[in-house]
Amino acid sequence: MLDDVYTTDGPDTFPVFHPAPPLTQGRLSITDDGQVLWKLRSPWRNGTEAFRFDPLVFIERLVAITPHPREHQLTYHGVFAPASSLRHLIVPRPSARAPRTHTATRPPPNTTPAPPPIAGPN
C-alpha cells in the first residue's frame, strides 16, 4: 500500500508523498439510472463501500467544498497570525537588501560605433 503512495527517484533520494486525489476517474461513475456513484478506496467500518448521489446534488456538494479563486487555504492562529503582537519575535524579518532600481522598458541605446561610409565613384 505504501508503494502506491511513496515513490523515489533512486536509492539516494528521499521518498516523495503522492496521495491519490479524492475523486479519481476509476472510482467515479454514472449508474444506469443516471445516479453518480462514488466508490470509496476502502470500506468503512459500518460497511459503506460507495455513495450514490443525484447528479445535481453531487455538483452542489462539489461546489460547496471548492475554494473561491485567490482565497487563502491556510490560516495562521496564535503567534503566527498576521496581527499577533508576538509575531515579530517568532517570524524572521526579510533580509536587508539594496532597493531595486526600475529600469526603462526600452533596451539601452546601441553604443557600438557606426561603420565608416563606403566610398563610391564621384
Residue 7 lies in a domain: no
**Structural domain for 31, as ranges:** 22-69
Domain count, the chain: 1
Residue 53 lies in a domain: yes
Residue 28 lies in a domain: yes
Greater pLDDT, 52 or 71: 52
Residue 105 lies in a domain: no
pLDDT of residue 111: 67
Greater pLDDT, 116 or 31: 31
* DSSP state letters, 40-71: -SS--TT---EEEE-HHHHHHHHHHHSPPTT-
pLDDT of residue 95: 72
Residue 5 lies in a domain: no
Q: pTM for this one?
A: 0.44
Span 39-45, average pLDDT: 91
- Rounded CA-CA distance 47/79 in Å is 43
Indicate if the pLDDT at residue 108 is higher than 70.
no
Residue 77 lies in a domain: no
Residue 122 in 3-state DSSP? coil
Indicate if the pLDDT at residue 61 is higher than 80.
yes
Residue 83 CA: distances (Å) to CA of 22, 25, 73, 78: 34, 43, 18, 9
Residue 4 in 3-state DSSP? helix
Instruction: Tell me the pLDDT band of 46, cut-offs 50, 70 and 90.
Output: very high
Only one residue has cell 517570524, namely 91
Residue 2 lies in a domain: no
Residue 45 lies in a domain: yes
* DSSP state letters, 32-46: TTS-EEEE-SS--TT
pLDDT of residue 2: 47
Q: Give the angle subtended at the CA of 57 by the CAs of 54 and 58, to the nearest 5°.
A: 85
